[in-house]
Amino acid sequence: MQNYNIYEAKTNFSKIINLVEHDEEVLISKNGKIVAKIIPFVEKSKKNRTFGTLKGKITVNTNFDEELPPEFIRDFYMGKI
């Protein structure tokens, strides 16, 4: 792992990108303190979704979309809930 100060990083940006492209991590320092770490980007593979895996495991009450009691709404907005 290589370490560059900010001035060196600006001057050698192409070199740093080349290092990262070849799976090397690069640290960037400011006043002797590490402030950033440049690492290779790894794209995560997207998993195929399987629909219906929760079928029969979740239920929704028939009154799901009914209006809530006024005292519940009042308490919710007044911060009691």
Per-residue pLDDT reduced to its tens digit, 17-32: 999 999 999 999 999 9
pLDDT tens figures, 60-76: 889 889 998 899 989 88
Q: For residue 24, give its domain range.
A: 2-38
When divided into structural domains, the chain yields a total of: 1
Query: How far, in Å, CA of 29 to CA of 7, rounded?
Result: 9
**CATH code assigned at 23:** 3.40.1620.10
The pTM (predicted TM-score) of the whole model is 0.54
Nearest CA-CA partner of 37 in 46, 47, 27, 49: 27
